[in-house]
Structure 1
Amino acid sequence: MEILKRPMGDYQTNCYIVKIDGKDLIIDPGMGATEWVMANVKNPVAILNTHG
């Protein structure tokens, strides 16, 4: 398992990419996360949002 983390948006909320067995989970992508996520994700299976 590999975990990548980067603060995103005006509020600098952490966006995580969790890589497990060739599958990528994207957790809390904030404003401006698209480019970073696209560069680091090969096989997205879910996007989880914990901030409402």
Structure 2
Amino acid sequence: MFAKVLAQTYPEVSMIGFVDKAKEGKDVYRLPEVKKLKFDYMLILSANHF
């Protein structure tokens, strides 16, 4: 849902995926895989810190 709202609000933003150490699925990456991705910025949101 977050990616959809972000894309609608900022159409110039391109989402690569999500980082998660436990989940698996389409567009879900583990931390070691992030090093292989090309991106300009990373947005970090964590429910554990709110």
Q: TM-score, normalised by structure 2?
A: 0.30
Q: Which has the higher Rg, Structure 1 or Structure 2?
A: 2
User: Which has more strand, going by share of residues?
Assistant: 1
Larger relative contact order (CA 8 Å, sep ≥ 6): 1
